Structure 1
Amino acid sequence: MTKPYVFITRKLSKETIQPLMEVADVHMWNEEENAVPREVLLKEAEKADALLTMLSEKVDKELLDAAPKLKVIANLAVGFDNIDVKYANQKGIAICNTPDVLTDTTADLTFALLLATARRIVEAAEFVKKGQWKSWSPLLLAGYDVHHKTIGIVGMGKIGEAVAKRARGFEMNILYHNRSRNMEAEEHTGASYTSFDELIETSDFIVCLTPLTAETLGMFTRESFKKMKKSAVFVNVSRGPVVDEEALYHALVDGEIAAAGLDVFVQEPVDEKHPLLTLPNVVALPHIGSSSKETRKNMMELCCKNIELVLCGQQPKTLVNKDWGLSVK
């Protein structure tokens, strides 16, 4: 009996995919750093029963129409804005993501980025490495305190709540804005719900953790940054397109806010000549929010398990399109 065909769009360890290989004929793009070319992905999709994709892959109508056998797509991320979920659902394709297993790791990175930006850690490290440290002075590379300040979290999901718990350790005042109140998070963290405008006007640190949706696209505008404190630090570990990057650049150059820590950009990988990368008060990272060895292994294993379950006629662990039915395909 012919095994179902699975294509993985980036090189994973044999140990990770071994259980999936017991039930499927598994092939993968054999590079870790470079994304699979579009033409290769389309060709593989034609014969695939399952795809394991990265955020770098655009799973749109063209690709879905090219994949008549496709039963499941497992996306190696919590977010799935790279996938046309609605169209996939119409075609009876299960869409799975990797929530929960990366919550604490991403929260760690978020708070690390906040600290690094506030205290000018990257700038200071480069200062030493370049031999510029000639003497001590009272305000040498002085940044901003984090403890006892106000943090405003935009997007109080599981990662937002985990960031709030870390903020409690710094005895911060915690505000949050969400499309709906999260009473459980309020109880666990002491966070206070507020409007978006009040949050950006009163917070010392504005941390964006919202998913990318039609409502959040471009939500941080030039007007948003103008409302912030001049000492405010803006941190984005959600998706690049929630921010008007040109507006952020001008806000930083014009002194409307103090600094920004960015793990995500509108275009990824970001161009090394991007204007934001020229600014000393920007800490830029290559979208590594969940990138610890342990967590990435857990994410990969969850993707493989979801594919295995669907191919074996069972319900996957983390289904995005909840109304998907096993009887459809």
Structure 2
Amino acid sequence: MTKKRLWITRRLSDATLERAARDYDVVINHADTPGTAEDLIAASAEFDAIIPCHSEHFTADVVAQFADRLQIVANHSVGVDHCNLPALKERGIVVTNTPDVLSDATAELAMLLMLGAARHAVAGDRIVRTGAWDSWSPAFMVGKQVTGARLGIIGMGRVGRAFAAKARGFDMDVHYFNRTRLTDGQAQGATYHETVESLLEVSDFLSLHCPATPETTDLMNAERFAMLPDGAVIVNTARGALVDEDALMAALDTGKVAAAGLDCFKVEPGGNPLFSKYENVFMLPHIGSATRQTRDAMGFRALDNLDAFFAGKTPRDLL
């Protein structure tokens, strides 16, 4: 039986690539550079399937130029804001993602960012690393305590709920906004808010875990930052599009926001260089799911979706 031809656009985990090579006629981008529009258009004529990452952009214009061979885009990501789903559907191309498997890894990173932002991790590391630590006093580097504080979560999907579970270990008072109210079993005692605005008013700490959509672009803008309690800490491990970065810097300048922990930015890769002047902003380069265990699980989930599709079954993570 002739193997289906598969293009893997980035350097995935060794276990994933080994399995893909066993089951498919696979071409791997070992250079590990983002696939361009031209690459995607060419691949549509050469491959039956593509496993891309969020670095490949399936815009309407790109998809309109696709050949007829490509049947499925099995994303190696949960978010699919890099895919124009209506355009792909119109061409009859199936799209899947990889939910569930990266929730804990991303929630762990959100906790790291929250703690690091609250307790001056950037400034503290710099002071020790540069040999500038030459004194101490009770007023030295006093931060914001997490234990017992009120935590607001926007988006109580898998990652949001995993983060809430970890926050309960710090005895945080969890509040949330979600498109739909969770069951009591899912909420685990978290307080539901019918509006984002109501949630913001009580959020000493705020963590974003919702997808990037036209409705959530610049969700956190100047007006909404102003609704937070003075000295709030904000964490974003979801998508950079959720935060108006100029508004965040303005809130940091006034002290309305005491600190921020950011794993994603409007422009990626690269981030926003203007944040570099803020030692109360703890930044990481979009590595929420970057653990060995999770990378293997994401790759296998994408391959599971391909296997099901080519076996004539409905992929588990069909969008």
TM class by shorter chain equals over 0.9
**After superposition, what is the alpha-carbon deviation per residue over 1:258-301, rounded to whole angstroms, capped at 9, x for unaligned?**
11111111110134x62122211111111111111110111011
Matched residue, 1:264: 264
Aligned with 1:10: secondary structure? coil
DSSP-derived class of the 1:152 partner: strand
CA distance in 1, matches of 2:38, 2:90: 24
- TM superposition shift of 1:29: 1.2
Question: Scaled by the length of structure 1, what TM-score is found?
Answer: 0.91
**Mapping of residues 66-215 of structure 1, within 5 Å:** 66-184=66-184, 187-188=187-188, 190-194=189-193, 195-215=195-215
CA RMSD, aligned part only? Answer: 1.7
CA distance in 1, matches of 2:154, 2:237: 11
Which residue does 1:305 correspond to in 2?
Answer: 304
Distance 1:114-1:224 versus aligned 2 partners, 3 A rule: same
Letter in 2 for 1:51: I
Residues 279, 108 of structure 1: alpha-carbon distance in 2 compared, 3 angstrom cutoff: same
Deviation at 1:61, TM superposition (A): 2.4
- SS of 2:257's partner is coil
User: Which string of whole-angstrom CA distances, capped at 9 and with x for unpartnered residues, describes residues 280-328 of structure 1?
Assistant: 11111111111111101110111122122212322222111xxxxxxxx
Say yes or no: does 1:248 pair with 2:248.
Answer: yes
Displacement of 1:200 after TM fit?
1.1
Q: CA deviation at 1:16?
A: 1.7
Measured in 1, the distance between the counterparts of 2:22 and 2:186 equals 45
| Aligned counterparts of 1:224 and 1:59: Cα–Cα separation in 2 | 31
Q: Which residue of 2 aligns with 1:293?
A: 292
Unaligned runs of 5+ in 1: 321-329
Unaligned stretches of 5+ residues in structure 2? none
Cα deviation, residue 218, structure 1: 1.3
How much identity, in percent, do the aligned residues show?
38
Counterpart contact for 1:72–1:93, Cα < 8 Å? yes
Q: How far off is 1:2 after superposition?
A: 4.2
Amino acid paired to 1:132: A
> What SS does the corresponding residue of 2:74 show, helix, strand or coil?
strand
What SS class does the counterpart of residue 258 from structure 1 fall into? Answer: strand
For the residue of structure 2 that corresponds to 1:227, the secondary structure is coil
Structure 1 CA distance for aligned equivalents of residues 37 and 213 of structure 2: 24
Tell me which residue corresponds to 1:235: 235
Q: Go from structure 1 to structure 2 and tell me whether the alpha carbon gap of 1:38 and 1:64 turns closer, same or farther (over 3 Å shift).
A: closer
The number of residue pairs the alignment matches comes to 317
Stretch of structure 1 that moved more, 177-186 or 202-211? 177-186
